[in-house]
Amino acid sequence: MKKVWLYLLFFLSPLIPIAFYLLVAGPSLDSYSASIAFGVYTFVLVSNQFYFASMPNWLTKALGTKTVRSLHGSFPLLILALALLHALLKLSNGFILTDGQALLGVVAFFLFLIGTISALLLFAQTLLTQFPWFSTFRTRIYTITKLTYKKVRAMHNLMVVAGILALMHIMIASTSALAYNPWGASILVVWMLYTLLSYLNYRLAGRKGKGTK
C-alpha cells in the first residue's frame, strides 16, 4: 500500500503547479490550457528524472534500488511524447518555433532525445537487453561508431543541460511571471533546482568514493 501512495505522489503531484498555472491562464478548458498543463506536467517529470537518478535513500528503502532505476528508465519516452504534444498544441494556438522561449524548449527536447537514445540503445538495462540479438546490436554500434562507455555517459548527461534549458524555457513564459503566478512558478523552480543539486551531489559523492579506493 505504501508503494501505491508513492506512485500516486509522483504521478499526481504535478497537478498542484498545474492548478496554479491554469488559474493564471484563465478558466476556459481549451487547447491553450491543455498545452500549459502538458508543459508543466512534462517539466515536473523531467525534474523527477534527476531525483530518481540521485537514488535518494528513503526512496530506495521504500521501493528498492531496482524499482527506482526502473522508474528512471521508464519515463523518458513518456516525457518526450508529452513534450511533443505540448509543442504541437502551442503551434496550433499561433505560437512559433523561432521565438526565443520556444527555441530553448526545442533545444532542450533534442538534447533530452539524444540522452534518451544513448541510454536506451547503448547502456540502460531494459526489456530489450534480455534478448541476445540486442547485445550483438549494441556491440556493433560501439564498434562502428568507435564510441566508448565514457562518451556514451557524457551523451546521456546532456539531459542535465536539457533540464537547465527547460527551466529557462518555462521561467520566461508569460504564465510564469512571479507577479501573477508566484506559487506555481516557485514550485517548479525550487523542485528543479533541488533535484539537479541532488543529482550533482550523488555524482560527486560517487566520484569521491571511487577516489578513496
Q: At 152, which CATH number?
A: 1.20.120
Q: What is the pLDDT of residues 55-112, one digit of tens each?
A: 999 999 999 998 898 888 888 989 999 999 999 999 999 888 888 999 999 999 999 9
| Residue range 159-182: mean pLDDT, rounded | 92
What is the spatial distance between Cα 18 and Cα 44, in angstroms, rounded to a whole number?
10
Does 134 have pLDDT greater than 70?
yes
Give the pLDDT score at 213.
Answer: 39
Residue 210 has pLDDT above 60, yes or no: no
DSSP, collapsed to helix, strand or coil, labels residue 5 as helix
The pTM of the full predicted model, rounded to 2 decimals, is 0.88
Tally of domains within the chain: 1
Examine residue 106 and state whether it is found in any structural domain, yes or no: yes
Q: For residue 61, is it within any domain?
A: yes
Range of the domain at 116: 17-198
Domain assignment present for 137: yes
Task: Look over the chain and give the mean of its residue pLDDT values, rounded to a whole number.
Answer: 88
In a domain? residue 147: yes
Long-range own/partner contacts, residues 16-19 (CB < 8 A, 24 or more apart): 16/187, 17/44, 17/183, 17/184, 17/187, 17/188, 19/184
**191 in any annotated domain:** yes
In a domain, 86, yes or no: yes
Cβ density class 24-63: b for 16+ within 10 Å, e for less: bbeeeeeebbbbbbbbbbbbbbbbbbbbbbbbeeebeeeb
Which pLDDT value is given to residue 209? 54
d(CA 24, CA 27) in angstroms, rounded, equals 8
What mean pLDDT comes out for the span 143-151?
A: 84
**183 domain residue, yes or no:** yes
Whether 211 maps to a domain, the answer reads: no
